[in-house]
């Protein structure tokens, strides 16, 4: 079977674009979510969704950078109090703790990369979203805002 020059061109051009969108700095970002602000603003993020203990333990270890609209979502079922460290984490992070109702319970910013110090949630949470440090403040994201799957995402 012969592939036309046009098909080959499209394949060569589109595959890297799709791969770049699906993988950001070595982490698969195939899950789309948004944070709803008080003013109706919707802040979209492409995130890696982690549900298993091995993935949760590794987290963003050794990731050199994080684009402003990407992150990692750690899902806990059933919801519980959780603790996070920064071991082998090269980048400062905002840790957004999300309750079972989808509301942000608290936000902690960690600049102490490569630290084993634990940041523990004050209450049981269903998820934690890690994004680049300072991004939550930059967007005006705060406790009480809602995190949900993006419209048309996933």
Return left, alpha or beta for 60; rule: phi > 0 is left, psi -120 to 50 is alpha, else beta.
alpha
Give domain status of residue 114, yes or no. yes
CB-side neighbour CA atoms (13 Å) of 127? 23
- Residue 124 near residue 77 (C-beta atoms within 8 A): no
Give domain status of residue 2, yes or no. no
Q: Which two tokens stand for residue 133?
A: 């440090």
The total of structural domains in the chain comes to 1
For the entire predicted model, the pTM comes to 0.80
Give domain status of residue 4, yes or no. no
Give domain status of residue 9, yes or no. no
How many angstroms separate the CA atoms of 20 and 104, rounded?
29
How does residue 12 score in pLDDT terms, banded at 50, 70 and 90? Answer: very low
How many angstroms separate the CA atoms of 144 and 48, rounded?
23
Give domain status of residue 121, yes or no. yes
**β partners of residue 80:** 125
How does residue 149 score in pLDDT terms, banded at 50, 70 and 90? Answer: very high
Structural domain containing residue 115: 25-149
Give domain status of residue 8, yes or no. no
Give domain status of residue 129, yes or no. yes
pLDDT at 16 over 70: no
Give domain status of residue 5, yes or no. no
How many angstroms separate the CA atoms of 151 and 121, rounded?
28
CATH number for the domain spanning 58: value is 2.60.120.1140
């Amino acid at each position: 079977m012969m592939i036309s020059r046009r098909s080959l061109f499209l394949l060569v051009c589109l595959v890297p674009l799709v791969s770049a969108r699906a993988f950001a700095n070595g982490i698969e970002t195939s899950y789309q979510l948004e944070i709803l602000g008080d003013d109706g603003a919707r802040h979209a993020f492409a995130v890696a969704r982690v549900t298993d203990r091995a993935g949760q333990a590794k987290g963003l270890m050794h990731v050199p950078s994080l684009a402003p609209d990407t992150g990692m979502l750690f899902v806990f079922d059933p919801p519980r109090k959780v603790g996070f460290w920064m071991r082998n984490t090269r980048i400062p992070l905002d840790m957004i703790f999300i309750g079972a109702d989808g509301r942000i319970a608290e936000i902690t910013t960690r600049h102490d990369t490569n630290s084993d110090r634990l940041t523990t949630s004050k209450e049981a949470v269903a998820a934690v979203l890690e994004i680049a440090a300072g991004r939550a403040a930059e967007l005006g994201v705060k406790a009480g805002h809602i995190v949900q799957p993006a419209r048309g995402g996933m």
